[in-house]
């Protein structure tokens, strides 16, 4: 069954949604949402409340764009799934697992950004403790939803390890790296127990390292996905 | 070319050295035979030495491309060095 | 002849025992080595974190260390070293094409290794019953988290060994299997090696 040439253009567009997601995430969620790094959990609620009240417009703007673009991650996952269909059989459950993993990753992003948005909507009417709760809740969700992304990483990794080509579509080292990242995310389980130190939500492990190792994976994988699409197109469109 | 049994006795020898080194480091620290700082320093140095035995002989980095061996040698040095530096820094 | 996925060793003749690796080759699959390397450097970072914490609060760390039983730590180390030894013997047996010896050594590696699990459970239970948890202080936070993460690595390793054992019993000890058992061996030695550093880091810094 041959894929029409136009399809590959769509595939490429979807693959670019990965870096697009990242860029939006960094600017609108990260910088405007004061999430790089997040507020230290040990701070008094007055600090968080003060931030919501004084920065409400910026937070609203940031979250509106972040929420709109959250779906990009799912779109990206579908492009990856298409490349996977040329590595493993087209009805392989691994493709579904990866696509679902990417799709479900949209959920914590969408929902948690809505909490920050809610805090910025009428902060002057809410007590400090409620504003702190909204901020805390958003982070608990984003961090502890890690396993939906780990699912994506594991499924993709396992599939790519099956590539029998002499030059695999996705390099094996990247597959292994993704599997390693998927395991590393498990450390987020410690996050709810600590308000200070390496395992807190702003800690060197549970924020900086966890996010950085994922931030390396996303554009690197996109690069290889785009290269793979080119190769597949050359192979299939004659 | 190594015979099968000489390979086995090589692994066994390495294991014996590891067991001895481990016991020595534990004994030095736990039995107050030498001053604490000497014992601890020795234990950490011995640990790096043991790690090297494992990655060189058990993980066979001795016969692997140099870059991998260099990476792990650097790792052992980094770990032992940093831990020791911190230990000495923290001494009263 | 198509190479088995992940078989990066050129020049291996599958049917001639004992099989030796080509010169200057990694034992096992390169991808597994990437995983191993990433993991050991992650743990190096954990060691640095602990060291940083200890420099900031040596008295608390030393006082907390007294609650640890270095004897159990020693036992854990010896158990993992011995398990690793059997693993090396298993890999050698596989290279020589000897199924009974491969199976025996893998079984020994697993049964000795399981002693680590028993010891850990005893140790953790003792601590928790004494009211010591990862929330007690910074030392115990690192103690439980780092030995806990190590323990998860150990458990995964035991599963990997079990798979190796099953394959040794039921499949040909061909080049493909040799890559498998070598890779598994390297992962298992990594588990051993990490504990070699964890033991003095946590138990022996007086």
- Residue of chain C nearest A163, judged by CA positions: C5
- Chain A residues touching C141 at Cβ < 8 A: 194, 197, 199
Judge: A197–C141 Cβ closer than 8 Å, yes or no: yes
Residue C13 pLDDT > 70: no
Residue C190 pLDDT > 60: yes
pLDDT at residue B46 in the model: 96
For C65-116, write each residue's pLDDT tens digit: 999 999 999 999 999 999 999 999 999 999 999 999 999 999 999 999 999 9
pLDDT at residue C2 in the model: 41
pLDDT at residue B2 in the model: 61
Confidence of residue B33 (pLDDT cuts 50, 70, 90): confident
> Is C70 an interface residue toward B (CB < 8 Å)?
yes
Residue C11 pLDDT > 60: no
Nearest-5° angle of CA B71, CA C146, CA C203?
A: 95
Crossing angle of the two packed helices A172-184 and C30-56, in degrees rounded to 10: 40
Query: pTM for the full model?
Result: 0.91
Confidence of residue B8 (pLDDT cuts 50, 70, 90): confident
Judge: C54–B58 Cβ closer than 8 Å, yes or no: no
Judge: C38–A164 Cβ closer than 8 Å, yes or no: no
- Chain A residues touching C57 at Cβ < 8 A: none
- Residue of chain B nearest C53, judged by CA positions: B86
> Is A186 an interface residue toward C (CB < 8 Å)?
yes
Give me the residue from C6, C38, C145 closest to A190, CB to CB.
C145
CA separation for the pair B45, B52 (Å, rounded):
11
Residue A226 pLDDT > 60: yes
DSSP A40: P
- Stretch A58-86: mean pLDDT: 97
Could you give the percent of chain B with pLDDT greater than 70?
A: 96
- Stretch A202-229: mean pLDDT: 96
pLDDT at residue A112 in the model: 96
Spacing of C-alpha A95 from chain mean position: 18
| Least confident stretch, A6-10, C23-27, C118-122 | C23-27
Q: C53 near C138, Cβ under 8 Å?
A: yes
- Residue of chain C nearest B61, judged by CA positions: C26
pLDDT at residue C12 in the model: 43
Q: A118 near A137, Cβ under 8 Å?
A: no
User: ipTM score of the complex?
Assistant: 0.93
Confidence of residue B1 (pLDDT cuts 50, 70, 90): low
Judge: A177–C38 Cβ closer than 8 Å, yes or no: yes
| Contact yes or no, A with B (3+ CB pairs under 8 Å) | no
pLDDT at residue C36 in the model: 96
| Least confident stretch, A116-120, C22-26, C151-155 | C22-26
Residues 6+ apart with CB under 8 A from B34: B28, B42
| Contact yes or no, C with A (3+ CB pairs under 8 Å) | yes
- Stretch A115-119: mean pLDDT: 97
> Is B8 an interface residue toward C (CB < 8 Å)?
yes
pLDDT at residue C25 in the model: 85
Structural domain containing residue A91: 7-34+43-236
> Is C35 an interface residue toward A (CB < 8 Å)?
yes
- Chain C residues touching A184 at Cβ < 8 A: 42
Residue C4 pLDDT > 60: no
The answer as to whether A1 is a domain residue is no
DSSP A38: P
Give me the residue from B4, B59, B79 closest to C92, CB to CB.
B4
Confidence of residue C21 (pLDDT cuts 50, 70, 90): low
CATH number of C34-204: 1.20.120.80
Could you give the percent of chain A with pLDDT greater than 90?
A: 96
pLDDT at residue C18 in the model: 52
Query: Alpha helix locations (H) across chain A?
Result: 5-24, 45-54, 56-69, 72-84, 93-121, 128-144, 146-161, 172-184, 210-236
Confidence of residue B92 (pLDDT cuts 50, 70, 90): confident
Residue C6 pLDDT > 50: no
Residue C9 pLDDT > 50: no
> Is B65 an interface residue toward C (CB < 8 Å)?
yes
- Stretch C25-40: mean pLDDT: 92
Spacing of C-alpha B78 from chain mean position: 13
Around C104, how many Cα atoms within 13 Å sit in the side-chain half-sphere? 7
Confidence of residue A116 (pLDDT cuts 50, 70, 90): very high
- Chain A residues touching C145 at Cβ < 8 A: 190, 199
The rounded mean pLDDT for chain A is 95
Residues 6+ apart with CB under 8 A from C75: C115, C119
Residue C5 pLDDT > 50: no
Total domains in the fold of chain A = 1
pLDDT at residue A4 in the model: 85
Q: For residue A115, give both structure tokens.
A: 């909490």
For A168-181, write each residue's pLDDT tens digit: 999 999 999 999 99
The answer as to whether A156 is a domain residue is yes
Confidence of residue C24 (pLDDT cuts 50, 70, 90): confident
CA separation for the pair C174, C1 (Å, rounded):
14
Q: B36 near B30, Cβ under 8 Å?
A: no
Q: What are the structural domain ranges in chain C?
A: 34-204
- Stretch A185-201: mean pLDDT: 97
Residue C128 pLDDT > 60: yes
């Amino acid at each position: 069954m041959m894929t029409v040439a136009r399809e590959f253009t769509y595939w490429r567009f979807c693959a670019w949604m990965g870096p697009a997601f990242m860029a939006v995430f960094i600017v609108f969620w990260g910088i405007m949402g004061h999430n790089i790094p997040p507020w230290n959990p040990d701070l008094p609620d007055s600090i968080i409340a003060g931030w919501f009240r004084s920065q409400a417009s910026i937070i609203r703007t940031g979250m509106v764009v972040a929420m709109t673009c959250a779906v990009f991650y799912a779109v990206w996952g579908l492009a990856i799934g298409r490349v996977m269909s040329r590595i493993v059989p087209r009805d392989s459950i691994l493709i579904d697992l990866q696509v679902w993993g990417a799709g479900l990753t949209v959920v914590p992003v969408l929902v948690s950004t809505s909490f920050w948005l809610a805090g910025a909507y009428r902060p002057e009417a809410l007590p400090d403790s409620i504003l702190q709760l909204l901020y805390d809740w958003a982070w608990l969700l984003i961090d502890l939803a890690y396993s939906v992304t780990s699912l994506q990483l594991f499924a993709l990794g396992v599939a790519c390890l099956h590539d029998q080509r002499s030059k695999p579509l996705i390099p094996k080292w990247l597959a292994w790296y993704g599997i390693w990242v998927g395991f590393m995310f498990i450390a987020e389980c410690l996050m709810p127990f600590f308000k200070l130190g390496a395992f807190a939500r702003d800690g060197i492990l549970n924020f900086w390292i966890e996010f950085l190792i994922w931030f390396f994976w996303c554009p690197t994988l996109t690069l290889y996905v785009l290269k793979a699409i080119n190769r597949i197109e050359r192979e299939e469109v004659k | 070319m190594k015979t099968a049994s000489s390979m086995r006795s090589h692994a066994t020898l390495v294991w014996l050295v590891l067991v001895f080194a481990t016991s020595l480091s534990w004994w030095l620290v736990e039995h107050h035979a030498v001053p604490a700082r000497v014992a601890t320093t020795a234990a950490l140095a011995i640990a790096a030495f043991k790690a090297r035995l494992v990655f060189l002989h058990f993980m066979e980095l001795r016969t692997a491309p140099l870059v991998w061996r260099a990476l792990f040698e650097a790792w052992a040095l980094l770990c032992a060095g940093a831990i020791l530096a911190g230990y000495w820094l923290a001494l009263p | 002849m198509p190479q088995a996925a992940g078989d990066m060793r050129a020049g291996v003749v599958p049917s001639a025992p004992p099989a030796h690796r080509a010169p200057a080759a990694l034992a096992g699959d390169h991808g597994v080595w990437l995983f191993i390397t990433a993991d050991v450097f992650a743990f190096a970072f954990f060691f640095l974190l602990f060291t940083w914490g200890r420099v900031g609060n040596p008295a608390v760390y030393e006082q907390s260390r007294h609650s640890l039983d270095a004897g159990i730590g020693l036992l854990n180390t010896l158990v993992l070293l011995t398990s690793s030894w059997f693993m090396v013997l298993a890999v050698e047996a596989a290279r020589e094409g000897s199924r009974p010896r491969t199976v025996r050594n893998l079984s020994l590696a697993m049964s000795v290794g399981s002693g680590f699990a028993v010891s850990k459970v005893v140790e953790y239970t003792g601590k928790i019953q004494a009211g010591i948890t990862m929330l007690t202080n910074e030392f115990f936070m690192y103690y439980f988290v780092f030995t806990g993460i190590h323990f998860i690595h150990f458990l995964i390793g035991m599963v990997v060994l079990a798979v190796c054992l099953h394959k040794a019993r039921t499949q040909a000890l061909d080049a493909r299997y040799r890559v498998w058992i070598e890779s598994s061996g390297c992962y298992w030695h990594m588990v051993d090696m990490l504990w070699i550093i964890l033991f003095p880091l946590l138990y022996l810094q007086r």
